[in-house]
């Protein structure tokens, strides 16, 4: 299996031994851009859907959901939780770019299940300033998906809140399990 930063074998000798990960990404982009042609797409997602998911590196959303470039808006953060910034992105996605459906995806084995709000206190002690944001840690992934669905459905800024569905992605099987909002 390759990653998005994988380069063709013949290019690896061109990368200095002391190259950083960012150097590898930039080099991979050079190869990508060499074959790139403008697909002529609009910023509006073809499927009119926005997907909110965790930033976990094990989730390959496009492959897992059978999506192609241009199909959806993808909003990712730690835990895939619906924060004020997610509401901001969804509002722009719906009101300015025409999306009508929201899919929320959390996953098994999420790192937020092992954190608490104590994390903020530890940061404050280390850097001398308390973060303005909440950790949004949780113990029950199903309940957190329900909470995220409720936040989307009750936002006054969103115009389409009827087609909101939430799922838990199993990182061992690759399957989605739908969460009943009730």
Question: What residues contact 119, with CB distance under 8 A and at least 6 apart?
Answer: 135, 137
- Residue 1: per-residue pLDDT: 43
CA–CA separation, 10 and 12 (whole Å) = 6
Model confidence at 117, in pLDDT bands (50, 70, 90)?
confident
Residue 62 CA to residue 74 CA, distance in Å, equals 9
Q: How far apart are CA 78 and CA 84, in angstroms?
A: 13
In this structure, are residues 87 and 150 in contact, taking their beta carbons and an 8 Å threshold? no
Q: How far apart are CA 83 and CA 88, in angstroms?
A: 9
**Residue 44 backbone phi and psi in degrees, to 5:** -80, 125
- Residues 24-50 pLDDT 10s: 999 999 999 999 998 899 899 999 999
**How much is the pTM?**
0.87
The mean predicted confidence, pLDDT, of the chain is 92
pLDDT for 131-151, tens place per residue? 999 999 999 999 999 999 999
At 4, the pLDDT band (50, 70, 90 cuts) reads: low
């Amino acid at each position: 299996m390759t990653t998005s930063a994988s380069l063709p074998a013949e290019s690896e000798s061109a990368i200095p031994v002391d190259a950083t990960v960012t150097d590898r990404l930039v080099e991979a982009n050079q190869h990508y851009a060499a074959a790139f042609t403008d697909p002529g797409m609009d910023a509006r997602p073809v499927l009119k859907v926005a997907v909110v998911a965790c930033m976990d590196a094990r989730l390959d959303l496009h492959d897992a959901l059978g999506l192609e470039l241009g199909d959806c808006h993808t909003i990712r953060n730690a835990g895939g939780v619906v924060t004020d910034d997610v509401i901001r992105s969804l509002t722009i996605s719906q009101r300015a770019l025409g999306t009508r459906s929201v899919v929320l995806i959390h996953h098994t084995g999420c790192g937020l299940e092992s954190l608490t709000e104590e994390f903020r206190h530890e940061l404050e002690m280390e850097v001398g300033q308390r973060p303005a944001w909440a950790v949004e840690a949780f113990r029950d992934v199903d309940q957190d998906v329900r909470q995220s669905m409720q936040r989307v459905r009750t936002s006054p800024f969103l115009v389409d809140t009827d087609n909101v569905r939430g799922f838990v992605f199993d990182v061992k099987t690759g399957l989605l399990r739908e969460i009943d909002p009730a």
